[in-house]
Amino acid sequence: MELIDQHTKRIMQGCKRRARDAGLRFEDETLEYIVSNRDLLELSPKVMIPTLYDYWVHDVEVLKGKGKYELYPGNPFETVINTRPAVSFYNDNNPDWLNVMIFYHVLGHIDFFQNNLFFRHTWDYDFNGQALADKRLIAALRSEKGRWVDYIIEFARGIDNLVGFHHELYRLDRTPLADFSSRVNYYFDVFLQQEKKVSTTRYVQEIKRYNDCLQQFGDQGEQTFFADIIRDYPEFDALYRRNRETRHVHMPDLMQYLLEHSEMLNREENKWMQTVLQVVRNTSLFFQPQIRTKIMNEGWASYWHETLFLQDNRINGHEVDFARVNASVTAMPRVGLNPYALGMRLFYAIEQMADQGRLSIEFQRILDADQRRRFDRATGRGRSYIFSIRENFCDFLFIKNFVDQDFVTANNLFVAGRRLNRDRMVWEFYVKSRKADDYRQMVLDSLYHPPVIEVDEEQGQDGELYLVHRFEEKPLVQEFIANTMLGIEFLWGAPVHLETSEVVSIGAPEGKDLPAGTAATDAQENVGSVTWQRVRYTMRDRKLSKKTL
């Protein structure tokens, strides 16, 4: 790996200036490296972080067939990594105009990394440096403990997708609560809604009454407000106090829980294992936001490389070259999902809608198609609006909020179904649905989503660990359960239980027993209904057993 030459670096600096003028914000320092194939061979198993710790699995072809994204959230072929300074990688023979385009794309990513709130926890340190320290730490441990270090890494990696990423964000970036007393919060958030389960009207009435009290009595308002309540609900104060005492303490994620409570890990001679777990956990946390913002991140970068490239006066004469490369990057595939294309089109669509003032109740209320089409308030706020989207959204919110029928129709999108034609033994792809709801759901379903598995302290007795998998209409990959639990048992030092749901049977989808071809049209209506059962796996002395609950 070597740095790009001065000439190319000057081009990069020019790109930075133009990007800043357009409103992107990023730190000044960046590093650009030329990578050879050989470098890539070493980098890609390490998810492009040159200093990532060594681990033997990096040297082996890893079978990724089943659920590869769920297993490996990091991107093995990323051009730019979220470090301080940001490091990006280039082919050594890119022509200048192509580099200009890629630089803009990279700057788009850097801007995203450094401004999107889902990356908040990566802002305060350089991961490259951190990783180097971790790598040395692990190397030192390995020289002392030998292969056991690798076992611990293996077991820790087995659960590194269960890290509490959102809790980490919450800790760092909690929205300041409005200035209410905890009593008021309790009354409106818990008491009315959960204890009394009042109707919405009643709830709104109470809010109004609260506001009236404040207005009428000023400082004494709250007291007056509660005086009435205690008259109606004498039990209120007692409940409030009890709630204060047993206020829901947030459960740490599985790794944290092991670190704090595992007797095995807390033995003096095993303390070193905790460090390994910490390293694996931090590394996993670092990669979490990247996969949760893939569509946005790529869309954002594509939006900017397109916008800025076409304004750049240094590349006159290469418009056609650019158009070719750009088209291959941002074309919507006939079947499949391209994050660049989808994200970029969404950003354009959102910008336009905000420009025309369509993201408003006023527009939402219009039902007349013609009026909708002609609606334009010329707010000129499109740009600033997409900047706020890039700051506050992740893929889920992005898709959930902005994929609407107008967008789906305008871009000719559809859900492509796949079915088996038994007559000809081919998979047929067909246009399954052009409804925005279906399209949105299809994209949402394909997003990264690790299972929620939590520790249940009440059920874990006699020092055993009890894990509960929250049911989300998806089973766990069965063949992975044994080895993962083996690892947890090792780290916990006592038997481990896992409660999860399994498919008992899937109702035969329409057409299975019918002659091929006949059932084609209504197949989508009859996705087999699934029967579930709750089961408990137990890993005891490295033996797995299963019990139906």
Partner 1 sequence: MDAKLEKLYRKLEDDGLSAEQEEKILSELRAAGGHGVAGDKCAPEPSGQRAATAPASIYDYHDLTVLQGIAALESTYTARIRSIDELLERDRQREKDGFPRKIRVGKLIKPGRGGRDKVVVVPTTVEEKFIHDNTFRESSGEGQAGGSGQGEEGEVIGEQPVREAEGTGAGGPGQGEDGQHELESNAYDLGKILTEKFELPNLQDKGKKRSLTHYTYDLTDRNRGFGQFLDKKATLRQIVETNITLGNLPDPSNIDPSKFLIAPSDRIYRILSRERDYESQALVFFLRDYSGSMAGRATELVVSQHVLIYSWLLYQYDKQVETRFILHDTDAKEVVDFYTYYNSRVAGGTQVFSAYRLVNEIVEKESLAQDYNIYVFHGTDGDDWDTRGDKALPELEKMLTFSNRVGITIASAGGKQSEVEKYIKKSGWIDEKPDLLRMDVIEQDADESRLIQGIKHLISEKVEA
* Binders in 283-312 for partner 1, by CB under 8 A: 291, 294-295, 298
Cβ proximity of 439 and 413 under 8 Å: yes
Which window, 13-21, 151-159, 190-198, 355-363, contacts partner 1 (CB under 8 A)? 151-159
Question: Which residues lie below 8 Å from residue 424, measured CB to CB, with a gap of 6+?
Answer: 516
Task: Determine if 77 is a binding residue for partner 1 (CB under 8 A).
Answer: yes
**Residue among 16, 84, 135, 157 that touches partner 1 (CB under 8 A):** 157
Of 208 and 422, CB closest to partner 1: 422
Choose among 78, 80, 136, 118: nearest CA to 279: 136
**Residue among 149, 162, 273, 354 that touches partner 1 (CB under 8 A):** 162
Task: Determine if 425 is a binding residue for partner 1 (CB under 8 A).
Answer: yes
Of 133 and 426, CB closest to partner 1: 426
Cis peptide upstream of residue 85 (ω within 30 degrees of 0): yes
Binding marks (x or -) toward partner 1, 355..394, rule CB under 8 A? ----------------------------------------
Task: Determine if 273 is a binding residue for partner 1 (CB under 8 A).
Answer: no
The residues in 40-59 that bind partner 1, with binding defined as CB under 8 A, are 40-41, 44, 56-57, 59
The residues in 486-515 that bind partner 1, with binding defined as CB under 8 A, are 486, 498, 503, 506, 508-509, 512
Of 377 and 400, CB closest to partner 1: 400
Which window, 17-25, 197-205, 209-217, 441-449, contacts partner 1 (CB under 8 A)? 441-449
Exposure pattern of 429-441 as b/e (b: 16+ CB <10 Å)? eeebbeebeebbb
Q: Assign residue 175 a region: left if phi > 0, alpha if psi is -120 to 50, beta otherwise?
A: beta
Task: Determine if 407 is a binding residue for partner 1 (CB under 8 A).
Answer: no
Task: Determine if 67 is a binding residue for partner 1 (CB under 8 A).
Answer: yes
Task: Determine if 396 is a binding residue for partner 1 (CB under 8 A).
Answer: no
First to last CA, the chain: 56
**Residue among 23, 95, 218, 528 that touches partner 1 (CB under 8 A):** 528
Tell me how far the alpha carbon of residue 479 is from its chain's centroid: 25
Distance between CA atoms of residues 466 and 469, nearest Å: 10
The residues in 329-358 that bind partner 1, with binding defined as CB under 8 A, are 329, 332-340, 342
Cβ proximity of 500 and 476 under 8 Å: yes
Task: Determine if 405 is a binding residue for partner 1 (CB under 8 A).
Answer: no
**Residue among 314, 474, 543, 546 that touches partner 1 (CB under 8 A):** 474
The residues in 446-465 that bind partner 1, with binding defined as CB under 8 A, are 446-451, 453
The helix or strand, by DSSP H or E, that contains position 432, with its residue range, turns out to be: strand 426-433
Distance between CA atoms of residues 27 and 110, nearest Å: 8
Which window, 72-80, 198-206, 264-272, 373-381, contacts partner 1 (CB under 8 A)? 72-80
Task: Determine if 518 is a binding residue for partner 1 (CB under 8 A).
Answer: no
Task: Determine if 436 is a binding residue for partner 1 (CB under 8 A).
Answer: no
Task: Determine if 225 is a binding residue for partner 1 (CB under 8 A).
Answer: no
Q: How far is the CB of 151 from partner 1 (least distance, A)?
A: 7
Cβ proximity of 198 and 214 under 8 Å: no
- Residue 377 phi, psi (nearest 5): -95, 0
Of 283 and 356, CB closest to partner 1: 283
Half-sphere exposure of 250 (CA within 13 A, CB side): 9
Q: How far is the CB of 446 from partner 1 (least distance, A)?
A: 6
C-alpha torsion angle, residues 167, 397, 159, 481 (rounded to 10): 140
Q: How far is the CB of 364 from partner 1 (least distance, A)?
A: 26
Of 192 and 467, CB closest to partner 1: 467
The helix or strand, by DSSP H or E, that contains position 538, with its residue range, turns out to be: strand 530-540
Query: How are strands ordered across the β-sheet holding 543-548?
Result: 453-455, 465-469, 496-506, 530-540, 543-548
**Residue among 51, 75, 266, 270 that touches partner 1 (CB under 8 A):** 75
Exposure pattern of 29-57 as b/e (b: 16+ CB <10 Å)? ebbbbbbeeeebeebebbbbbbbbbebee
Of 29 and 541, CB closest to partner 1: 541
DSSP state of 455: E
